[in-house]
Amino acid sequence: MNTQATPSPQFYLTAPAVCPYLPGEMERKVFTHLVGARAAEMNDLLTQGGFRRSQNIAYRPACESCRACISVRILAHEFEPVRSMKRVLATNRDVIATVYPAQPSTEQFSLFRRYLDDRHQRGGMSDMSALDYAIMVEDTHVNTRIIEYRRREPGSGISVEPKGELLAVALTDMMSDGLSMVYSFFNPEYEKRSLGTFMILDHIARTRTLGLPHVYLGYWVKGSAKMGYKTRFQPQEHLTPRGWEIFDPATDI
């Protein structure tokens, strides 16, 4: 009988770097590699413990003087869209979403570059090449999918492959307790469509259809204006030192 123990993941700590969210702060991360036969299981456990996945790395903040980054997950079965979200759903009723294996395309990368050039000109991803994008999508040892959102055209639903204009893309991990939105991007010219909000609403609906409880949104950074949208999707839980707890926006100061 083989009694050899399964190797435990090894964790590492990054060097301090300038925080991309809060001025004057420095960030550090603890990380491990998600590879091998247990990668999907480890991704589930680590995501539930506040980690995020980037390619074959799972990481979480380990900053010395700041605790602003808080893991967020939406309670899918209890979620009810507010009036503004219902308007977003109505505006995008002409959008078709199709799920594919985690494989990049030239069309996706073209949209990705338009999004970065408009929204993240000075970010750490601003100089990503087609190869970098392909690695971001393909370098996964877990159950990852690409969801493409296209404008419906005449004849859509007849062809196996929708051919309408590509409006948005989500890279999503399929987990045992829900969906984790790893990264998403969209055509910035369609600001009135609120495509970022629409993709989250679509993930909530998909999670409910799967009979699973959670949509993981990554980190909400208290004090960062560009992360404020994440708290609009209620009810949701935040990971605290006491575990996952319901977040009450009315008590947040």
Q: Are residues 177 and 129 in the same domain?
A: yes
Q: Are residues 106 and 196 in the same domain?
A: yes
Is residue 234 one of the residues assigned to a domain?
no
Q: Are residues 203 and 119 in the same domain?
A: yes
Is residue 74 one of the residues assigned to a domain?
no
Q: DSSP string covering 95-112, please? A: EEEEEEES---HHHHHHH
Instruction: For residue range 192-213, list pLDDT tens digits in order.
Output: 999 999 999 999 999 999 999 9
Q: Are residues 116 and 192 in the same domain?
A: yes
Q: Are residues 169 and 192 in the same domain?
A: yes
Supply the DSSP symbol for 251. G
Mean pLDDT of 166-174: 98
Instruction: For residue range 24-60, list pLDDT tens digits in order.
Output: 899 999 999 999 999 999 999 999 999 999 999 999 9
Distance CA 136, CA 56 (A): 9
- pLDDT for 91: 97
Q: Are residues 127 and 198 in the same domain?
A: yes
Instruction: For residue range 35-45, list pLDDT tens digits in order.
Output: 999 999 999 99
| Segments forming the whole domain that contains residue 25 | 12-69
Instruction: For residue range 74-117, list pLDDT tens digits in order.
Output: 999 999 999 999 999 999 999 999 999 999 999 999 999 999 98
**Partners of 246 in beta bridges:** 237
Is residue 216 one of the residues assigned to a domain?
no
Greater model confidence, 18 or 161? 18
pLDDT at 5 over 50: no
Q: Are residues 21 and 125 in the same domain?
A: no
Mean pLDDT of 121-147: 88
Q: Are residues 162 and 42 in the same domain?
A: no
Q: What CATH number is given to the structural domain containing 158?
A: 3.40.630.30
User: In the numeric block, which tokens belong to residue 65?
Assistant: 């003087």
pLDDT at 160 over 70: no
Greater model confidence, 5 or 158? 158
User: Which stretches of the chain are DSSP H helices?
Assistant: 39-48, 83-91, 106-119, 130-138, 195-209
Mean pLDDT of 140-153: 95
pLDDT at 142 over 80: yes
- pLDDT for 155: 61
Number of folded domains that form the chain: 2
Q: Are residues 52 and 86 in the same domain?
A: no
Is residue 163 one of the residues assigned to a domain?
yes
Q: Are residues 185 and 96 in the same domain?
A: yes
User: In the numeric block, which tokens belong to residue 38?
Assistant: 């247990």
Is residue 248 one of the residues assigned to a domain?
no
- Longest CA–CA separation in the chain, Å: 63
Q: Are residues 108 and 204 in the same domain?
A: yes
Q: Are residues 138 and 46 in the same domain?
A: no
